Amino acid sequence: MSRAVRELRLLARDPLLLGLVVLIMAALLVFVLYPVVLVLRHSLVTPDGLGLDNYELLAQRRLYRNALRNSLGVATLVGALSVVLGYVVAFTLARTDVPLKRALHNLTILPIVSPPFSGAISILFLFGFNGLVTRHLLGLRDFSIYGFWGVVASQVFTFAPIAYLSLRGVLAGINPTLEDAAMNVGATRWQVFSRVVLPLSLPGVASAFLVVFIESMADFGNPLVLAGASFPMLAPQAYLEITGSFNLPRGAMLAVVLLVPSLTAFALQRYYINKRQYVTVTGKPTASTTKAVGPAAKWLLFSVVVLFALVVIAFYGVILVGAVTAVWGFDYTLTLRHFQYVFAVGWDTVKDTVLVAVTSTPVSGLLGMLIAFLVVRRRFPGRGAMELLSILNFAVPGTVVGIGYILAFNSPPLLLTGTFAILVLNFVFRYVPVGIQNGIAVLRQIDPAIEEAAQNLGADGVTTFRKVTLPLIAPAFFSGLVFAFVRAMTAISAAIFLVSANWNLMTVQILNQVGSGRLGVAAAFSVVLLGIVLVAVGVIGALVGRRAETAATVRF
Amino acid sequence: MPVDLRLVGLRKEFPGHDGGAVVVAVDDVTLEVEKGAMVTLLGPSGCGKTTLLRLIAGFEEPTRGEIWFGDKRVDRLAPNARDTAMVFQSYAIFPHLDVFENVAFGLRMARVPDAEVRERVGRVLELVGLAGLERRAPSQLSGGQQQRVALARCIVLEPHVLLFDEPLSNLDAKLREQMRVEVRELQQRLGVTSVYVTHDQAEAMALSDVVVVMNEGRIAQVAPPRELYSRPNSRFVADFIGKANFLTGTVVDARTVDVAGTHLPLSSDAPVATGQRVDLVVRPEAVVLRREDGPGARGVIAHAAFLGDHAEYHVRLPSGDLVVAHEANPAERGMFDVGEEVTVTTGPLHPLPPE
């Protein structure tokens, strides 16, 4: 008690900062916690009051039971396959001296910056009813890609790069002199890997698995495109309950069922596994000797990496070609018809999407850095709650957030449904966690005395943040911006509940086009979307590059 | 001189880790600093000296007690509302700003007009010898130059109180001594009241008008350097400041004390009663060794080391005690050998108050 009072009084010495803390806390409660609570509450609504009736349906109805089983099964397998693939690529690119590292890295992470279901579209082009491979090369007539394997394939393509990025960090952080030391005491190359490198990276493997598991559970686009009617999954089923049958309580119930494994995995990852990460990074510079992998093993690994890169090229190539092909499967003449459609009929959607992304990105970036600053550098009651709340949205599936937003903001005083604001708010609070995590990591490496010096010289808390902290964490700020922008451009699961006739998004358009069988238009939309994202990432990247240079010269 | 900085009954508690006992970092500290004085807070690590400085700066809030700048009470003010400027141990120079903007930072915060900023920053950079480096990035400066930027950034503000948190500890020995002189000269020229934290007793002696020795959160002694050295008020202070021999004796009269049967002179200004048992301090350089027999204790050289400007001997007395003696200029005067028998006498012994 006395501690909270003391902390509050300390904060009150800086009224502007106190105001900000209160404001952020209120915003987090309204835009993060409140919608989720409403979903929970709504899942208990029955014709006669509150009860667990909706959840009993889970036992009674095969459809729901199967949806749960299918979602869990797919997420588990996708997690495992993505981690294996991600590990191979990360190990090869981070710890061996293969050629073309830069290009292979960029190709591998390309799926991260595209809409999360572009893989699904490529799969339809290649393996669908009129697929290039299935129908034309193999002449199959009754092959169906829809169902378990279709979803698994497109999700592995989508999420293996995420596993790759997180495992790359882990593997690059293992001190190579450990390998030298192991070999020095007589270990064979295989023993070096199985007894040293692998055990050291195991917490990272578990963490990557859980991250992919969460992503897969929450994924909306791939299942909607590829699951098909006979293979129900939770996220699309919740969406169908609400938009198809207008049954909000059942949709909310399915959303809660979706939420539970996701939150469990998140809690495991954050509070159990991350505390077990081995940090072997020291201040001493270590030269990688890269002798710990024999030539045969190296080229075998390399071929796997190249194979994945080729799949990426093929998938995007197919979308490019599909976008300029008249009717895939029947009429392969070149045409710009689909692009004309995008620029004529779909132009408003393109503008809306960019406007929403451009508005939400800087807000999300700034908010992320501000929260990171408050959490790391200030003491106030509710600090832990602020951190937890602001990263909670990362673990809450978009479907849950989307349903929560329509429940929360469909009536006064906060009547936001159908507006520009609800889309922006959704993106701001959904993608702020990554910025926060980056900001926290960077801030912990900056001597707090620098900020104390600013205060000592007369700067109040907000000025200190603006003039000193923010410039110092600029690299993290900009990479947070890239992430927020990419996600705002490519997100679907929550947004699909929030779009309206006035404000529509490209991802939703793409899904609609796929739904109505116009793959060419969907591909053209995807190409435009990917083009915008790559240009934006390039522009921000150029800014970061300059920033990073100044930041590099100011090491102390 | 009027009192310029006043600490009254200051106490700072930190909550213990994982619900452990409360840690008292600063315990009932009362101190008055005259205007324009340089005061050092000296003590071993963990003695509370840095916490005390951070309390004055406002980075910590006292659990109890008051802090006054002149006739203004400041202990509830935010750091940016206090008229202090602090030189940090890590310098804490803003890495994204050049030298000029670093020094100008505080003036900009106070919304000083541009022309005046240029004028004052220019003057201060001249003063600390950094003129011409205005547009350098901090990373392009040497350690000593960074130190000067940190100093310039503070004095340009003409603060009420200037604070130093072990500012020289990152410099090499030579540069440290040079900067020590510069800091002292600058502080005297500007006449700004200063509080300086260090664990280096030589630095404290060289810099300050008054030294505050701290131990376990409390003030052990407040005194000018000379008094601190010759009349420590406790075994802790005597041991922490320079080297010291500790002996026990019986007071014979106001000028004489008996130590293990040898009569030695007693420092005159301490009130002691005849026949009283007292703990005594004598500095190694006040211990006199002679080859020839005479009044004094007989001892044997147990250890001898040549240290350039002086030689250090450990002399074992018949009582079993070891006495450390420093003899000046051994290069000219020659040295005693290990095993040699010597006569030991001392200058006046300083009695410690009973603990």
The answer to whether A556 contacts B15, with C-beta atoms less than 8 Å apart, is: no
A186 and A300 co-located in one domain = yes
pLDDT at A415: 81
Contact at 8 Å (CB) between A391 and A430?
no
Owner of token pair 């620029």: A343
A424 and A508 co-located in one domain = yes
The answer to whether B79 contacts A456, with C-beta atoms less than 8 Å apart, is: yes
pLDDT at B35: 93
Per-residue pLDDT reduced to its tens digit, B300-313: 999 999 999 999 99
Q: What is the DSSP letter of B265?
A: E
Tokens of A311: 């799949």
**In terms of CATH, what superfamily is B244-352?**
Nucleic acid-binding proteins (2.40.50.140)
Count the neighbouring beta carbons within 10 Å of the beta carbon of residue B20.
Answer: 8
Q: What is the mean pLDDT of residues A541-554?
A: 52
Per-residue pLDDT reduced to its tens digit, B157-192: 999 999 999 988 888 888 888 889 989 999 999 999
A150 and A224 co-located in one domain = yes
Q: Measured between alpha carbons, how far is B240 from B238 in angstroms, rounded to an integer?
A: 6
A342 and A219 co-located in one domain = no
The answer to whether residue B86 neighbours chain A at the CB level (below 8 Å) is yes
More confident residue, A295 or B222: B222
Per-residue pLDDT reduced to its tens digit, B27-44: 999 999 999 999 999 999
The answer to whether residue A554 neighbours chain B at the CB level (below 8 Å) is yes
Same fold, B3-239 and B244-352: no
Contact at 8 Å (CB) between B260 and B319?
yes
Q: How many residues does chain A have?
A: 556
Owner of token pair 């030991």: B344
A392 and A324 co-located in one domain = no
Count the neighbouring beta carbons within 10 Å of the beta carbon of residue A511.
Answer: 23
The answer to whether B109 contacts A459, with C-beta atoms less than 8 Å apart, is: yes
Per-residue pLDDT reduced to its tens digit, A501-547: 888 899 998 988 888 888 899 999 999 999 999 898 888 777 766 55
Q: Which residues of A touch B111 (CB under 8 A)?
A: none
The answer to whether A458 contacts B61, with C-beta atoms less than 8 Å apart, is: no
The answer to whether residue B85 neighbours chain A at the CB level (below 8 Å) is yes
Nearest-10 Cα torsion for B56, B59, B65, B67: 30
The DSSP code sequence of A169-203 is HHHHTS-HHHHHHHHHTT--HHHIIIIIIHHHHHH
Q: Residue A155 is which amino acid? A: Q
- E-assigned strand segments in A423-554: none
The answer to whether A452 contacts B92, with C-beta atoms less than 8 Å apart, is: yes
**In terms of CATH, what superfamily is B3-239?**
P-loop containing nucleotide triphosphate hydrolases (3.40.50.300)
The answer to whether residue A454 neighbours chain B at the CB level (below 8 Å) is yes
pLDDT at A285: 42
The answer to whether B90 contacts A454, with C-beta atoms less than 8 Å apart, is: no
A401 and A549 co-located in one domain = yes
Q: How many residues does chain B have?
A: 355
Q: For chain B, where are the alpha helices, taking DSSP H only? A: 49-57, 99-109, 114-128, 143-155, 173-190, 201-207, 225-230, 235-240, 330-333
Contact at 8 Å (CB) between B214 and B197?
no
Nearest CA in chain B to A6: B61
Give the closest residue to A450 by CA, choosing from B169, B138, B122: B138
A109/chain B closest Cα distance in angstroms: 32
Give the closest residue to B57 by CA, choosing from A409, A258, A115, A458: A458
Is a pLDDT exceeding 60 seen at residue B355?
yes
| Residue A24 belongs to domain spanning | 1-42+336-556
Query: Is the N-terminal amide bond of A413 cis, ω within 30° of 0?
Result: yes
For residue B259, the surrounding DSSP H or E stretch is strand B256-259
pLDDT at A60: 86
Nearest CA in chain B to A463: B109
Question: Domain map of chain B by residue range?
Answer: 3-239, 244-352
The answer to whether B86 contacts A3, with C-beta atoms less than 8 Å apart, is: no
The answer to whether A468 contacts B94, with C-beta atoms less than 8 Å apart, is: yes
Q: Measured between alpha carbons, how far is A92 from A49 in angstroms, rounded to an integer?
A: 58
The answer to whether B88 contacts A449, with C-beta atoms less than 8 Å apart, is: yes
For residue B245, the surrounding DSSP H or E stretch is strand B245-253
Q: What is the DSSP letter of A270?
A: I
* Alpha-carbon distances of A137 from A104, A119, A141, A312, B153, rounded to whole Å: 28, 20, 11, 20, 75
CB nearest to A455's CB, from B76, B80, B157: B80
A328 and A341 co-located in one domain = no
What ipTM was predicted for this assembly? 0.80
Count the neighbouring beta carbons within 10 Å of the beta carbon of residue B244.
Answer: 19
Per-residue 3-state assignment (H helix, E strand, C coil) for B207-244 = HCCEEEEEECCEEEEEECHHHHHHCCCCHHHHHHCCCC
Q: What is the mean pLDDT of residues B78-86?
A: 89
A311 and A342 co-located in one domain = no
A215 and A178 co-located in one domain = yes
Give the closest residue to B353 by CA, choosing from B201, B213, B231: B231
User: From the candidates A457, A473, A477, which should be mutated to test the interface with B, based on the most B CB atoms within 10 A?
Assistant: A457
Chain A contacts in chain B segment 186-215 (CB below 8 A): none
The answer to whether B92 contacts A472, with C-beta atoms less than 8 Å apart, is: no
The answer to whether B92 contacts A460, with C-beta atoms less than 8 Å apart, is: no
The answer to whether residue A449 neighbours chain B at the CB level (below 8 Å) is yes
The answer to whether A452 contacts B59, with C-beta atoms less than 8 Å apart, is: yes
Per-residue pLDDT reduced to its tens digit, A282-297: 434 444 555 667 788 8
**Model confidence pTM above 0.80:** no
Per-residue pLDDT reduced to its tens digit, A491-500: 888 888 888 8
The answer to whether B96 contacts A471, with C-beta atoms less than 8 Å apart, is: yes
Mean pLDDT of chain A: 84
Is a pLDDT exceeding 80 seen at residue B251?
yes
Tokens of A256: 């809660």
A7 pLDDT band, cuts 50/70/90, is: confident
All residues at 6 or more sequence positions from A444 whose CB lies less than 8 Å from its CB, including other chains = A376
Q: Measured between alpha carbons, how far is A251 from A239 in angstroms, rounded to an integer?
A: 7
pLDDT at B270: 67
What three-state secondary structure class fits A393? helix
Q: Measured between alpha carbons, how far is A251 from A403 in angstroms, rounded to an integer?
A: 8
pLDDT at A438: 81
The conformational region for residue B282 under phi > 0 = left, psi -120 to 50 = alpha, else beta, is beta
The answer to whether B89 contacts A449, with C-beta atoms less than 8 Å apart, is: yes
The answer to whether residue A76 neighbours chain B at the CB level (below 8 Å) is no
A25 found inside a domain: yes
Q: What percentage of residues in chain A have a pLDDT greater than 90?
A: 28
A288 found inside a domain: no
What three-state secondary structure class fits B252? strand
The answer to whether B93 contacts A455, with C-beta atoms less than 8 Å apart, is: no
A410 and A321 co-located in one domain = no
Per-residue pLDDT reduced to its tens digit, A252-279: 999 999 898 888 888 888 777 766 655 4
Tokens of B333: 């005067």
What three-state secondary structure class fits B141? coil
The answer to whether residue A2 neighbours chain B at the CB level (below 8 Å) is no
pLDDT at A69: 93
Domains contained in chain A, number: 2
User: From the candidates B59, B80, B107, B170, which should be mutated to test the interface with A, based on the most A CB atoms within 10 A?
Assistant: B80
Contact at 8 Å (CB) between B89 and B169?
yes
Owner of token pair 């000028």: B255
Q: Which residues of B touch A460 (CB under 8 A)?
A: 78, 80
CATH assignment at residue A25: 1.10.3720.10
B266/chain A closest Cα distance in angstroms: 49
pLDDT at A556: 27
A398 found inside a domain: yes
Q: Measured between alpha carbons, how far is A468 from B96 in angstroms, rounded to an integer?
A: 8
A289 found inside a domain: no
The DSSP code sequence of A237-248 is HHHHHHHTS--H
CB nearest to A554's CB, from B58, B96, B109: B96
B83/chain A closest Cα distance in angstroms: 8
Nearest-10 Cα torsion for A540, A543, A548, A551: -130
Contact at 8 Å (CB) between B300 and B340?
yes
A198/chain B closest Cα distance in angstroms: 34
The answer to whether A550 contacts B96, with C-beta atoms less than 8 Å apart, is: yes
The conformational region for residue A244 under phi > 0 = left, psi -120 to 50 = alpha, else beta, is alpha
The answer to whether B94 contacts A453, with C-beta atoms less than 8 Å apart, is: yes
Mean pLDDT of chain B: 90
A343 and A403 co-located in one domain = yes
The answer to whether residue A14 neighbours chain B at the CB level (below 8 Å) is yes
Nearest CA in chain A to B63: A6
For residue B14, the surrounding DSSP H or E stretch is strand B3-14
Q: For A100-191, where are the alpha helices, taking DSSP H only? A: 101-109, 118-127, 148-172, 176-184, 189-191
Is a pLDDT exceeding 50 seen at residue A105?
yes
Q: Report the half-sphere exposure of A505 (CA within 13 A, side-chain side).
A: 26
- Asked which of A391-395, A405-409, B65-69, B85-89 is least confident by mean pLDDT, the reply is A391-395
Q: What percentage of residues in chain B have a pLDDT greater than 70?
A: 98
Q: Measured between alpha carbons, how far is B68 from B195 in angstroms, rounded to an integer?
A: 14
A181 pLDDT band, cuts 50/70/90, is: confident
pLDDT at A550: 42
Is a pLDDT exceeding 80 seen at residue A10?
no
A400/chain B closest Cα distance in angstroms: 37
Q: Measured between alpha carbons, how far is B120 from A52 in angstroms, rounded to an integer?
A: 73
A323 and A426 co-located in one domain = no
